[in-house]
Amino acid sequence: MNVHVRADAALPRHDWTPAEVEALFELPFAELVFRAAEVHRRWFDPAEVQLSQLLSVKTGGCAENCGYCSQSASFKTGVAATKLMDAETVVSAAAEAKAGGAQRFCMGAAWRDLKDRDLPKVAAMISGVKALGLETCATLGMLTAGQAQALKAAGLDYYNHNLDTGPDYYSTVVTTRTYQDRLDTLAHVREAGLSTCCGGIVGMGETRRDRAGLLHSLATLPAHPDSLPINDLMPVPGTPLAGSDPVDGLEFVRTIAVARLVCPKSVVRLSAGREHMSRELQALAFLAGANSIFIGAQLLTTSNPDKNTDAALLADLGMRPMTMN
């Protein structure tokens, strides 16, 4: 397929059409990855990778019914609900993460939305982690404009709020909140001056058109995500999507490459799912434009490669931690 390439192809744009994004997916694999690698080199050092670590500061009991999630109260997954951690415990974990090489510390709470009563405790966590010299990120569900501003004042750098999938497939994945709800929270985050972390999940039974729909939605936001995580579904027994057919590895790499092309300045994170990816698949993803990973052996309630495994992979690929501003 002959896809017209604009002379300014490496420059961010917000006028992508769904057809253009779908056409990128249809390119011959080698051509698609080559184009993505070229764009990657326009904005980033391809030998650098941003390192984040994630901690579940409040696990389980979530009122949402996201079909992929082990923490939903709607499903029997064996994940027990816990109370919100105290700030001292979180800051201690962040210090360990920094000692292990993390550059950004992400705090996740299994909530439908942030309650004002929990805001002071969350703010204390953020301030404590920020004082360690780490970048701070949080994912706490939906936010009001005022809550976003309060998190910014506490020292939060990034807020994660994924779109999960394309708009046409969204209602198959979750029905307890709308796509517009997610877009509204992202708007509050941007307006507060926070950086956005926003991506989605593949392997939930969606089609290529749905994956293109997700990336089209991200590429046409008023500002592209500063961090763009692409998660490969980690099937959790007891969730509705546990039996979904996995996405082919080459299709996963195509998704990474298209993400790089339509959001050229975003840090594209090879996120959940690396535990079941081969070294070669991860290397292809880096070649196609991924330049961030989660480190640490645990991602909320699912596993992640251990420190030594990641260190060996990055050393073999000649990659190093990203130089932070």
- Which residue in 69, 50, 63 sits closest to 231, CA to CA? 69
**Are residues 262 and 24 in contact, defined by beta-carbon separation less than 8 angstroms?**
yes
Instruction: Please give the single-letter amino acid code of residue 268.
Output: V
Give the model's confidence band at 302: pLDDT under 50 very low, under 70 low, under 90 confident, else very high. Answer: low
Mean pLDDT of the chain: 91
**Are residues 299 and 97 in contact, defined by beta-carbon separation less than 8 angstroms?**
no
pLDDT at 122 (0 to 100): 96
pLDDT at position 8 over 90: no
pLDDT at 155 (0 to 100): 96
pLDDT at position 269 over 50: yes
171 is written with which tokens?
Answer: 């209602």
Which of 2-16, 101-115, 130-144, 305-319 has the lowest average pLDDT?
A: 2-16
Arithmetic mean of pLDDT, 294-306: 68
pLDDT at 308 (0 to 100): 85
**pLDDT digits over 167-176, tens only?**
999 999 999 9
Return the percentage of the chain with pLDDT > 70, whole number: 95
As a whole number of angstroms, the longest Cα–Cα distance in the chain is 56
pLDDT at position 298 over 60: no
Compute CA distances 202 → 22, 140, 163, 213, whole Å: 15, 22, 12, 12
**Are residues 58 and 79 in contact, defined by beta-carbon separation less than 8 angstroms?**
no
pLDDT at position 6 over 60: no
pLDDT at position 258 over 90: yes
Give the model's confidence band at 126: pLDDT under 50 very low, under 70 low, under 90 confident, else very high. Answer: very high
Which of 26-40, 67-81, 171-185 has the lowest average pLDDT?
A: 67-81
Higher pLDDT, 181 or 240: 181
Which of 64-73, 97-106, 119-128, 133-142 has the lowest average pLDDT?
A: 64-73
Instruction: Name the 3-class secondary structure at 70.
Output: coil
- CATH class for the region spanning 30-321: alpha beta
Catalytic residues: 62, 66, 69, 106, 137, 197, 269
Number of neighbouring beta carbons within 10 Å of residue 319? 18
pLDDT at 9 (0 to 100): 67
284 contacts: CB under 8 Å, gap ≥ 6: 33, 249, 253
Arithmetic mean of pLDDT, 268-294: 94
Arithmetic mean of pLDDT, 183-207: 96
Instruction: Please give the single-letter amino acid code of residue 119.
Output: L
pLDDT at 296 (0 to 100): 78
Higher pLDDT, 253 or 271: 253
Sign of the four-CA dihedral 255, 259, 260, 266: negative
Q: Which residue ranges make up each domain of the chain?
A: 30-321
Query: What pTM does this model have?
Result: 0.92
**Are residues 229 and 199 in contact, defined by beta-carbon separation less than 8 angstroms?**
yes
Give the model's confidence band at 7: pLDDT under 50 very low, under 70 low, under 90 confident, else very high. Answer: very low
pLDDT at 39 (0 to 100): 97
Give the model's confidence band at 2: pLDDT under 50 very low, under 70 low, under 90 confident, else very high. Answer: very low
Instruction: Name the 3-class secondary structure at 300.
Output: coil
Instruction: DSSP letter for 49, please.
Output: E
- Which residue in 53, 118, 52 sits closest to 83, CA to CA? 118
Give dist(CA 65, CA 48) in Å, integer. 37
